[in-house]
Amino acid sequence: MVGGRQGPLRGLRRPACGACEGGVREAGGPGRRVRLGAEPGQRPDPRRHAAVTPIEAWSVADAPSLRDRLQARAEPVLLRGLVAHWPAVQAARTSSAALCDLLRRLDAGVEVMATKTRAAAQGVMGYNETLTDFAFVKARMPLAEFIGHLQGYVGRPGAPSIAAQCAKVSEVIPGFSDENPLQALPGVVPNFWLGNALTVPVHHDHPFNLACVVAGRRRFTLFAPDQVGNLYIGPLEHTPSGAPISVVHPKAPDFDRYPRYREALAAARVAELGPGDALYIPPLWYHQVEALDDVNLLVNYWWPVPGSATAPVPAAALMQALQSLNALPAPQRDAWAALFGHYLVQREADPAAHIPPAWRGVLARQP
């Protein structure tokens, strides 16, 4: 899941007139305005996906045993109707207005991070064409204010893509989890993602991820970790919210510039979820997320890989290795590649099998 960096828009507020079409003033500069009205240049999404493999679907009930079943899988699973019993899902099926009323009732008055894509981005929350900046702006605002903007765009062709990204349920709508519990993941604090039609480019998360659709439809396009070389992942540091994303525009991929992306699409797996459905995404699986309707709400649960709370973070180890090894001459990089391959990658043979167990140290295999 990708949120977005915080730019100079802190403190963004609705103008005195209260009209969404009038825009909202940007605190970062006098007289500048971030308009939340419809903008020209947003074109329909031309489907560019190749033939794809569907994701395996389970029909299961929410139960404590589900967590272990999911963690044991190395591939994604579609869970039809897992949270269909939630009152929030029932409200969303009644109407988007009923869902918004439910959120207002639970609103604790905490601000959310709101994003709006620029017109040229076609509703994609990624980089601009030159990869020098992000194709969206962002600002903090009360949830009630954001909901007002969101409802103002319902049914309006050409409305901008806006979203409240990665907001903690326990802080912003604290009663939600009590009314809509998930037995499979007790104690895991969920996040919510509220907005209209918006596409988050290909990215991955390090923890386990269970994404539950409350309102609207969402299309997930997933890629196994071994597709990383075909996805054209962007900078590891200059990212929207920490997770590196693909620089390929999902609605208008430039195959001349990114030819291997065709191979990624050929290996993709796609699932479209409706209210009440859930999707399990294993750690490090790349995924693109498309919110398809005027009002969409997703609640997701991230929980850590066993042992990761005390062990060094693998992503940090990767970054340190890149910083250390990229400056070395090619022969030394090749030598280190052989060592990494022997100790980390080629795991069929135990590299410490010839060493007494008491002396294996960090080479000791973990269960």
- In tens, the pLDDT along 310-353 reads 666 788 888 888 889 988 999 999 999 888 888 888 667 888 88
Average pLDDT, the chain: 85
- Per cent of the chain over pLDDT 90 is 63
Comparing 236 with 84, which gets the higher pLDDT?
A: 84
Q: Quick one: pLDDT at residue 312?
A: 63
Comparing 94 with 130, which gets the higher pLDDT?
A: 94
Question: In this structure, what is the dihedral angle of CA atoms 314, 319, 322, 323, given to the nearest 10 degrees?
Answer: -140
Q: Which of 362, 301, 239 is nearest to 70 (CA)?
A: 301
Q: Say what the pTM is.
A: 0.82
Tell me the residue type at 236: L
Q: Quick one: pLDDT at residue 309?
A: 61
The answer to whether residue 26 scores a pLDDT higher than 60 is no
- DSSP string across 217-245: -EEEEEE-GGGGGGTTB--SSS-SSSS-B
Give me the domains of the chain, ranges plus CATH numbers: 20-303 (2.60.120.10), 328-363 (no CATH)
The answer to whether residue 46 scores a pLDDT higher than 60 is no
Helices 143-152 and 96-106: angle between axes, nearest 10 degrees: 170
- Cα(74)–Cα(285) distance, rounded to whole angstroms? 9
First CA to last CA distance, the chain: 29
- β-pairing, 77-79 with 57-58? parallel
Q: Which of 166, 164, 199 is nearest to 293 (CA)?
A: 199
- In tens, the pLDDT along 239-252 reads 877 789 999 999 88
- Mean pLDDT is lowest, of 37-41, 71-75, 300-304, 322-326, for 37-41
Write out the H or E segment, with its range, that includes residue 44. Answer: none
Q: Quick one: pLDDT at residue 19?
A: 25
The Cα-based distances of 273 to 84, 168, 218, 280 in angstroms read: 12, 22, 5, 12
- Mean pLDDT is lowest, of 37-51, 117-131, 179-193, 306-320, for 37-51
Tell me the residue type at 179: E
- Cα(138)–Cα(6) distance, rounded to whole angstroms? 6
